[in-house]
A and B are shown apart, each in its own frame.
Chain A
Amino acid sequence: MVTTVSTPSVAESMVEALSDLSAERSDRFGQLHLTLPASAIREAVRRCRAAGLEHLSDVMGIDWLEYPGQQGPRFTVVYNLYSLRDSSRLMLRVDVADGETVPSITPQWAGASFFEREVYDLFGIEFAGHPDLRKLVTPDDLEGHPLRKDFPLGETPTLFGEGRFLDPASFRAGMMGRDRGRTGWVGGARKGVRSEQRRDPEADS
């Protein structure tokens, strides 16, 4: 029996290369994610870049405050790296608690500057060593970090001429499954439609 050994992609090879930095692997919908401690991110990005992951797609934040069943630190910062050589993509994740700082990769990768500033502006995660960490997109007089889950959307009710008003939030209230809507309706299960069963490849509609 012939076994073919295919060369691992650049992203796959980083699993081995970053194993000494206590990287945990997770595969999400076919995409490789490596979770690292915050202290290791600079070294990890340096090694990834040297190995061929030359294109920095994105640095983004996620706030897990309202995620059902989530334990652990409140935020995650995801670094989205891409290799031009073999079109493989690697996502590095850093779990950050509220108030913790993450070392900035801007000194070694100038393109991360705007991305990190945006994460700081919208989530409040501070990046230590960033040359110019300040707000990027929100007005200077806006206090708070809008994309945090406890920051309100800021909807204003729509007023009509005769004194009627519509409150948009109350229309949507049932859908999140937490509050009751205007008619007392509460929305559906928080489980995904196919979270247990994946689509049957045999069955065609």
Chain B
Amino acid sequence: MSRDGSGRAQVLSSERHGDFETKLMRINVGPVHPATHGVLRLVIDLDGERIVGLSPRIGYLHTGFEKTMENRTWQQVVTYTNRMDYAHSMGHDLAYVLAAEKLLDARVPERAQRIRVILTEINRIASHLIFIGTGLLDMGALTPFFYTMREREMALDILEMVSGVRMNYGYFRVGGLYRDLPDGFEEAVRAFLAVMPGKIDQYRALYEKNNIWVDRTRGVGVLSRDTALEVGLSGPSARASGVALDFRKAAPYSGYEEYDFDVPVMEEGDAHARMTIRALEMRQSLRIVEQALDRLEPGPIKDPDRRISLPPRHELETSMEAVIFHFKLVTEGFHPPKGEVYVPTESARGELGYYLVSDGGSMPYRVKVRTPSLPNVQAIEPASVGGMFADMIVNIATMDPVMGDVDK
């Protein structure tokens, strides 16, 4: 970038070919740009329309999550976890509570695990709907955005019914869930499941046979399997390049081993594969939701261990120990034993894991969030260098970074 950081375009070199003079220019894209999926800034070296060099500059949404989490109790951290990846917020909540439960050796009841799976998968579908809508919007197709947002409203209605908010749900707790499902949940989810497969076909009909979309995505931003692993890519973008990695199958958590679902893996590694694979994944998520919903049985929704969860109110009248546990939990929260733990999960963007370091206190000592979007942003460079500027926009859209996830 220019030495004074002013953001002005810079001419790096110029050559003459006969009467024709060409210049190699260094140009700034973002952080305020309609197509950079948030506040992502890229400094690119352009030779005409071809990108010769690319350097992402991030940090425009740095919120200091990890430092803030060191100053909140273990249960209060759940409020913060979902604000990082705001598109698939339950993925973050789930990853954190799983890590904290591993530290505490908590036993989460089956009903809570199944509800967690249902809600996380519905959230994953909502996240992929944003991906399709905004991805096509970046390529200039305005209509599919409104179609996908319409279905996302259905998904958000279900999630709002359960947690009270449309986004950034703090519904999971360390040990289980905040409260049980409301009436009408099952009908709403079944209605959603009935409607969605037809809608997914409708979206695909909107773009898949469109010549413009095919030309803009086939062969664009090809990432080989080796490059994907070199860069640390994970998630659907990596699976589109042949990296067969999905933590729901490789390291199952929260009961995922019980459900029968496929993980699509494609070999081409271009933008076309990256977009198609997420549409295929939405179908698999619907399968998981259906199976989990069928197996849902009544039962407790939180680990009854008094050291983690509040005792039931009627016990407070009779038992002194219950009152003491209640007091300790409300004033300080629980104290996990000293140690370090890491639990990887699969978010809509890739490998998501919380590395928790506990010193035995009521607040975490160190929370490191391994967010998928940070290495995914690194992948934009090998995908886009050598291609054209418009292809870079397609690559950013199909890597699906969420800047809250990148900058934390």
Contact = CB atoms under 8 A, between A and B. Distances in A.
Chains A and B touch (C-beta atoms under 8 A apart): yes
Chain B interface category by residue count: 35 or more
A136 B59 contact: yes
Interface string B53-94: 000001100101011100101000000000000000000000
Contact of A111 (B58, B231, B307, B331): B231
5 contacts: A188-B335, A188-B362, A189-B335, A195-B360, A198-B105
Interface stretch (A15-23, A38-46, A57-65): A57-65
A101 interface: no
A87 B251 contact: yes
A31 interface: yes
9 smallest A-B Cβ distances: which pairs? A192-B337, A111-B232, A137-B59, A192-B360, A195-B337, A137-B62, A60-B368, A87-B250, A58-B370
Interface stretch (A5-13, A158-166, A172-180): A172-180
A177 B103 CA distance: 21
B204 to A, nearest CB: 30
A135 interface: yes
B361 interface: yes
Interface string A18-34: 00000000001101010
Nearest to B61: A137
Contacts of B66: 122, 147
Given A187-B361, A188-B328, A199-B305, 7 more contacts: A28-B339, A28-B340, A55-B351, A63-B366, A89-B344, A139-B62, A146-B64
Contacts of B62: 137-139
Contacts of B105: 194, 198-199
A142 B71 CA distance: 21
A57 B344 contact: yes
B102 interface: yes
Interface string B240-271: 00011100001100000000000000000000
Given A54-B229, A193-B334, A199-B105, A84 B59 contact: no
A29 B357 CA distance: 11
Interface string B312-348: 0000000000000000100110111111111010000
Contacts of B24: none
Contact of B102 (A29, A80, A188): A29
Contacts of A112: 232
Interface of B: 5, 58-59, 62, 64, 66-68, 71, 73, 102-105, 229-234, 243-245, 250-251, 304-307, 328, 331-332, 334-342, 344, 351, 353, 355, 357-363, 365-366, 368, 370, 374-375, 377-378, 407-408
B361 A190 contact: yes
A48 interface: no
Interface in A69-123: 78, 80, 82, 84, 87, 89, 91, 109-115, 118, 122
Contacts of A33: 340
Contacts of B351: 55, 57
A175 B334 contact: no
Contacts of B370: 57-58, 60, 80
Given A111-B232, A188-B328, A175 B339 contact: no
A205 interface: yes
A191 B231 contact: no
Of the candidates B328, B344, B360, the one having the most CB atoms from chain A within 10 angstroms of its own CB is: B360
Contact of B358 (A54, A109, A115, A192): A192
A89 B247 CA distance: 12
A56 interface: yes
A176 B361 contact: yes
A29 to B, nearest CB: 5
Contact of A57 (B58, B328, B353, B361): B353
Given A28-B341, A31-B342, A78-B355, A190 B360 contact: yes
Contacts of B103: 29
A89 B340 CA distance: 14
Contact of B362 (A118, A136, A175, A199): A175
Nearest to B56: A114
B58 A137 contact: yes
A67 B359 contact: yes
Given A29-B103, A55-B232, A188-B332, A113 B407 contact: no
Given A113-B378, A153-B71, A193-B335, A31 B358 contact: no
A58 B229 CA distance: 13
Contacts of B231: 110-111
A184 interface: no
A62 B357 contact: yes
Contacts of A139: 59, 62
B382 to A, nearest CB: 8
Of the candidates B5, B103, B251, B337, the one having the most CB atoms from chain A within 10 angstroms of its own CB is: B337
A176 B335 CA distance: 11
A114 B374 contact: yes
A111 B340 CA distance: 24
A187 B230 contact: no
Contacts of B328: 188
Contacts of B59: 135-139
Contacts of A187: 331-332, 361-362
A56 B332 contact: no
B339 A80 contact: no
A162 B231 CA distance: 54
